[in-house]
């Protein structure tokens, strides 16, 4: 029987409100038969019927859609046996360019002049009546800052930190909420607007008022009555505003102060004033995944520290907020302090730098509940003062962008399974409307290199289409005139020299390519292609700047790079010096990907150009950096006095050219042997920084060194992935963030200004290896239209299994070794093909269905 498993519009199966004139539809199928293919399919909406055999991002092609309208889309699919399946979904259009009835309002009397601080939250109020029966009511809202809406004492919507972080000068999202069931005869609408990213303190330098000198609100309530009439309430001078609401402070780094005892009727309410907003962004209905609450976390223990503080351990490091049920007295102040680590039984705050990460709550009398709304923390431990344990029931909410998990991996080694969980938790903790670097200290910024290297692993584990498309929109908007891309997107207060930084800037190539391979939508490549070309033109210019000779023009020589960032036991400066190698290899890799992208887009001239350029870079890398035996030559950065170690060798210097196909023949063999030598001399410990970490196991495994790859993966002493899995619950920024002697490496003496995080997903890029080599599942044709299952057993593993919810359905593989025999079960989605390669080389081409093979 043929069924439709999933049907989406704009990558959402429900609650879609869009301003797109051509919303895109996708779907997947299921069947209990084998070798099922799609024969034909159609989508009908608004009187238009279109061919939908493509299944991925089928664009609407009918008459113009109307604003503020609800539509139903119907899908019919027929398979090769004539079986039919049908499904329907509804979606709404947003404003679609309709002028706002509301105006930007603020507290015109408020002057915020604090440095490295956030403004007081503004609370806005509007009272109004509804004299007739309501058929439908929607609120459209946005803010300069972040906002919370409350109608008649009930929260509006499920989102946190709306309208989200975007490149505010270019685009500002607005949200649409259904409030039909919340309305009564007499109504009070409250809106709390805190500084957020736009006005509050942001970046490690705690810059504030980046976008505006103070907060502002823009909202509109549209009520349709059953008698066919409509009424619109927009923000204007009839609204009231105060800074004496219940939210007394809100800051992403320092936390929240909330006074439940505050009497709003006694607050100093003033008439709201019109605000002239100095930026003119395009206002667009939400097109990303806003932050929402997900898992409810329960403490595993509560002890009293020597300081007298109650310390709750949640057993898992994550990003979110506490959720407290309290029994208190009016005026009683309870403080919640958050941290990732304990030292000597007390909260360890040093890695937080200037961030206070606390929530302060003033009680009313009796039973009450509290959970922050204007901030979030990265934590495992919560210290509580001002209340006894018997009067407090504490839990917590995990906050992250509203993305679905689509991948699963498990194997016979419990520590590897813990590693997989660590990878997923670090990704969720840092998918906070944008891909951030950490969720706890005074940073939490959109560092481009982290997601550039982690994107393949992210796309195995999560349906991050909307999330990454939104962020890439800002990458495109903020590309510099010369082609460079900031190391932080949105840059939002973090101005950086207009240089080209390898991997960080290459996010414009690496992230769209990972998305295309996983999700199959070629439009992401087409959209980003001009950005990629402009960026790689800048790379070519700066790499060859003031260089003579063919070799020097095709390898990096000057300027700042992050190099082998945070490689263990190496200072920041030595990591950067390695940029001569890492940046050159990255250039070659991006050119290789651009060759493939140009071919897909039909750009034959570009395809040849990038293929030829890749060959030149390969040749130059080998000539400049390797001797005839494939050993790295000692190099000194011409702009630095720092040497690169006694022998001038490091793991990433061999990993990258091997993984990127830059070497062949004896040179490749020599480089591989030298890499293996370094790995063995290092006791199979990982010694790579950000650039080499995603690729080192592939460089070994794909070149016949499976044993060394598995030994490195399974090493469980510091530095290694499994050491982190033994003693932590997330991925760390530094391999030795917590040393084996129990001390913390904050990087005080290496030039990084006390930089360490215990929730930093970049090194979790090893998850790509777990899916592609251990489980063996790998996309061959975009979106897994054709995929390969080719597991590489090793390391003493007796079984492994992985699955991915592809755009076509669930692709899965589960193998085991038992009594000297290998068996594997494979699941192939409808309308796809699987190439199964057994460990002995035997191959099978499989249509849809479930299969089992033995060897």
Q: Report the catalytic residues.
A: 443, 733
Alpha-carbon torsion (549, 554, 555, 560), positive or negative: positive
Cβ atoms within 10 Å of 610's Cβ, excluding its own: 24
Q: Largest Cα–Cα distance in the chain?
A: 87
Q: Which two tokens stand for residue 548?
A: 């003579």
Strand partners for 218: 142
| DSSP 8-state assignment for residue 316 | E
Confirm if 284 and 173 have CB atoms less than 8 A apart.
yes
Cα 251 to chain center, whole Å?
21
Locus of tokens 């509580």:
384
Q: Which two tokens stand for residue 19?
A: 């301003």
Q: Which two tokens stand for residue 745?
A: 């490496």
- What angle, 0 to 180 degrees and rounded to 10, lies between the N-to-C axes of helices 448-461 and 465-477? 160
Instruction: Report DSSP letters for 129-149, one per residue.
Output: E--S-EEEEEEEEEEESEEEE
For residues 568 and 734, what is the distance between their CA atoms, to the nearest angstrom?
A: 7
Closest CA to 338 of 294, 306, 372, 362: 372
For residues 445 and 245, what is the distance between their CA atoms, to the nearest angstrom?
A: 29
Q: What value does the CA radius of gyration of the chain take, rounded to a whole number of Å?
A: 28
Is the previous residue joined to 102 through a cis bond, with omega within 30 degrees of 0?
A: no
Closest CA to 660 of 608, 765, 586: 586
**CA-to-CA dists, residue 395 to 254, 687, 798, angstroms:** 20, 38, 38
Per-residue HEC secondary structure of 335-384 comes to EEEEECCEECCEECCHHHCCCCCEEEEECCCEEEEECCCCCCEEEEEEEE
For residues 232 and 59, what is the distance between their CA atoms, to the nearest angstrom?
A: 32
Q: Which two tokens stand for residue 206?
A: 């705690």
* Beta carbons within 8 Å of 296's beta carbon, 6+ residues apart: 323, 395, 396, 397, 398
Locus of tokens 């489980």:
775
3-class secondary structure, 427: helix
CA angle in degrees (0–180, nearest 5) for 620-625-626: 100
């Amino acid at each position: 029987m043929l069924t439709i498993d999933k049907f989406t519009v704009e990558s959402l199966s429900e609650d879609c409100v869009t301003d797109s004139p051509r919303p895109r539809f996708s779907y997947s199928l299921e069947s209990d038969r084998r070798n099922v293919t799609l024969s034909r399919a159609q989508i009908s909406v608004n009187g238009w019927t279109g061919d939908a055999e493509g299944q991925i991002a089928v664009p609407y092609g009918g008459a113009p859609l109307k604003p503020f309208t609800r539509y139903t889309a119907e899908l019919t699919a027929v398979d090769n046996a004539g079986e039919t399946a049908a499904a329907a979904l509804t979606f709404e259009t947003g404003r679609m360019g309709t002028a706002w009835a509301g105006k930007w309002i603020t507290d015109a009397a408020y002057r915020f002049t604090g440095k490295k601080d956030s403004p007081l939250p503004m609370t806005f109020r509007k009272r109004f009546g509804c004299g007739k029966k309501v058929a439908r009511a929607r609120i459209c809202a946005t803010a300069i800052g972040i906002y919370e809406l409350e109608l008649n004492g009930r929260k509006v919507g499920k989102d946190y930190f709306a309208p989200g972080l975007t490149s505010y000068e270019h685009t500002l999202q607005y949200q649409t909420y259904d409030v039909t069931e919340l309305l009564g005869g007499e109504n009070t609408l409250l809106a709390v607007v805190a500084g957020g990213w736009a006005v509050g303190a942001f970046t490690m330098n705690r810059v504030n008022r980046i976008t505006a000198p103070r907060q502002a609100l823009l909202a509109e309530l549209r009520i349709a009555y059953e008698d066919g009439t409509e009424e619109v309430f927009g923000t204007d001078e009839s609204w009231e505003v105060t800074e004496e609401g219940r939210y007394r402070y809100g800051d992403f780094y320092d936390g929240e102060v909330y006074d439940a005892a505050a009497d709003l009727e006694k607050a100093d309410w003033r008439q709201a004033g019109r605000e002239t907003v100095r930026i003119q962004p395009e206002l667009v209905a939400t097109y990303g995944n806003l932050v929402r609450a997900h898992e409810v976390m329960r403490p595993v223990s509560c002890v009293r520290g020597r300081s007298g503080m109650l310390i709750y351990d949640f057993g898992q490091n994550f990003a979110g907020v506490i959720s407290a049920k309290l029994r208190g007295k009016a005026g009683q102040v309870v403080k919640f302090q958050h941290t990732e680590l304990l030292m000597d039984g007390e909260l360890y705050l040093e890695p937080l730098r200037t961030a206070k990460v606390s929530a302060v709550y003033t009680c009313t009398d009796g039973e009450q509940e509290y959970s922050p709304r204007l901030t979030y923390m990265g934590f495992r431990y919560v210290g509580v003062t001002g209340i006894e344990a018997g009067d407090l029931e504490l839990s917590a909410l995990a906050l992250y962008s509203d993305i679905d998990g689509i991948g699963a991996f498990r194997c016979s080694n419990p520590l590897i399974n813990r590693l997989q969980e660590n990878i997923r938790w670090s990704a969720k903790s840092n998918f906070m409307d944008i891909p951030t670097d950490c969720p706890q200290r005074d940073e939490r910024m959109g560092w481009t290199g982290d997601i550039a290297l982690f994107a393949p692993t992210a796309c195995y584990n999560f349906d991050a289409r909307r999330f990454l498309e939104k962020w890439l929109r800002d990458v495109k908007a903020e590309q510099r005139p010369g082609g460079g891309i900031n190391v932080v997107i949105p840059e939002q207060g973090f101005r950086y020299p207009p240089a080209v930084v390898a991997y960080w800037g290459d996010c414009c190539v690496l992230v769209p390519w990972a998305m295309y391979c996983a999700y199959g939508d070629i439009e992401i490549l087409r959209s980003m292609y001009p950005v990629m070309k402009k960026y790689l033109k800048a790379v070519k210019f700066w790499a060859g700047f003031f260089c003579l000779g063919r070799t020097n023009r095709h390898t990096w020589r000057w300027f700042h790079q992050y190099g082998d960032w945070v490689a263990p036991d190496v200072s920041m400066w030595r990591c950067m010096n390695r940029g001569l190698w890492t940046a050159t290899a990255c250039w070659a890799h991006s050119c290789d990907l651009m060759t493939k992208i140009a071919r897909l887009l039909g750009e034959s001239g570009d395809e040849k150009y990038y293929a030829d350029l890749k060959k030149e870079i390969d040749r130059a890398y080998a000539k400049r950096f390797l001797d005839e035996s494939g050993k790295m030559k000692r190099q000194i950065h011409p702009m630095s006095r720092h040497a690169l170690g006694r022998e001038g060798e490091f793991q990433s210097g061999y990993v990258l050219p091997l993984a990127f196909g830059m070497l062949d023949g004896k040179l490749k063999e020599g480089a591989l042997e030298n890499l293996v030598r370094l790995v063995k001399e290092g006791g199979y410990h990982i010694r790579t920084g950000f650039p080499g970490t995603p690729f080192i196991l592939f460089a070994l495994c794909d070149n016949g060194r499976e044993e060394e790859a598995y030994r490195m993966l399974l090493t469980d002493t510091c530095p290694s992935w499994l050491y982190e899995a033994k003693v932590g619950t997330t991925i760390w920024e530094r391999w030795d963030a917590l040393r084996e002697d129990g001390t913390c490496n904050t990087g005080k003496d290496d030039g990084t200004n006390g930089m360490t995080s215990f929730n930093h997903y970049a090194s979790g890029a090893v998850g790509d290896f777990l899916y592609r080599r251990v489980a063996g599942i790998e996309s061959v044709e975009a979106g897994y239209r054709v995929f390969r299952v080719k597991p590489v057993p090793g390391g003493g593993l007796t079984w492994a299994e992985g699955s991915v919810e592809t755009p076509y359905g669930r692709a899965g593989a589960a193998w085991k070794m038992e009594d000297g025999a290998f068996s594997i079960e494979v699941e192939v989605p409808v309308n796809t093909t699987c190439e199964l390669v057994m460990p002995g080389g035997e191959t099978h081409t499989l249509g849809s269905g479930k299969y089992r093979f033995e060897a």
